[in-house]
């Protein structure tokens, strides 16, 4: 069992020991769900990067493996959210015809251009918060960390963006949100 206090203090040798001791177990955990060697390895690396980044928050009274696999579970859930959004986006874009022939799908292109134009009219920070939250699927705390602002500020920008888009798009806002989810 690793010395959590050494990890908390930033002891790289202790971290390296943890990495080599638990790498295979974390890989097996990810493999149960992902079944892709390259993606599995990437997720395992992400687990250990997050573990190192949050090492000060490790609790010496909770078993290390419990904390490690909680990080692994969180990484997998984040991956699953990102990939499911990506799949929906790809599926949505697959319905757009590539030919310049006028078809019913052209209306969809015009709709998406109208929505995209409305999003582009948002103030820069609101636009970024909206894209990170609604399109990339990040949580408010993740957006806050990425943009170096507080989660409450993220909440305010998201509220402002949604209000602006509801006003600008009217009933189309419901269609857009349905396409996202």
pLDDT in tens, 61-93: 999 999 999 999 999 988 888 876 655 554 444
Task: Kindly list the distances between the CA atom of residue 85 and the CA atoms of 39, 91, 132, 135, in Å, as whole numbers in the listed order.
Answer: 17, 10, 12, 8
Q: Are 158 and 139 in contact (CB under 8 A)?
A: no
Q: Are 118 and 111 in contact (CB under 8 A)?
A: no
Give residue 99's pLDDT. 43
Closest among 142, 131, 47, 32 to 85, alpha carbons compared: 131
User: 173 or 116, which is more confident?
Assistant: 116
Q: N- to C-terminal Cα distance for the chain?
A: 43
User: 97 or 177, which is more confident?
Assistant: 177
**pLDDT over threshold 80, residue 98:** no
DSSP 132: I
Closest among 174, 144, 179, 147 to 162, alpha carbons compared: 174
| pTM recorded for the entire structure | 0.48
Task: List pLDDT tens digits, range 117-144.
Answer: 888 888 889 989 988 888 788 899 999 9
> In 138-172, which positions are buried (b, 16+ CB within 10 angstroms) versus exposed (e)?
bebebbbeeeeeeeebbeebbebbbebbeebbeee
Compute the average pLDDT of residues 158-178.
Answer: 72
Closest among 22, 114, 31, 121 to 67, alpha carbons compared: 22
Q: Are 143 and 129 in contact (CB under 8 A)?
A: yes
Give residue 2's pLDDT. 67
Share of the chain above pLDDT 70, in %: 76
**pLDDT over threshold 70, residue 156:** yes
**pLDDT over threshold 60, residue 155:** yes
Inter-axis angle of helices 104-120 and 151-169, nearest 10: 130
């Amino acid at each position: 069992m690793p010395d959590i206090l050494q990890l908390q203090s930033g002891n790289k040798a202790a971290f390296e020991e943890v990495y080599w001791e638990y790498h295979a177990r974390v890989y097996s955990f990810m493999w149960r769900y992902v079944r892709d060697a390259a993606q599995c390895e990437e997720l395992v690396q992400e687990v250990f990067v997050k573990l190192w980044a949050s090492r000060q928050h490790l609790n010496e009274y909770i078993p290390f493996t419990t904390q490690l696999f909680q990080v692994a579970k969180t990484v997998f859930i984040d991956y699953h959210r990102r990939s499911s959004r990506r799949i929906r986006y790809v599926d949505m874009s697959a319905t757009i015809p590539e030919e310049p022939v006028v078809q019913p799908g052209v209306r969809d292109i015009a709709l998406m251009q109208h929505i995209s134009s409305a999003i582009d009219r948002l103030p820069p920070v609101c636009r970024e918060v909206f894209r990170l939250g609604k399109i990339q699927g990040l949580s408010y705390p993740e957006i806050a960390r990425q943009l170096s602002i507080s989660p409450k500020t993220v909440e305010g920008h998201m509220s402002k963006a949604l209000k602006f888009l509801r006003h600008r798009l009217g009933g189309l806002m419901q269609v857009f949100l349905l396409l996202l989810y």
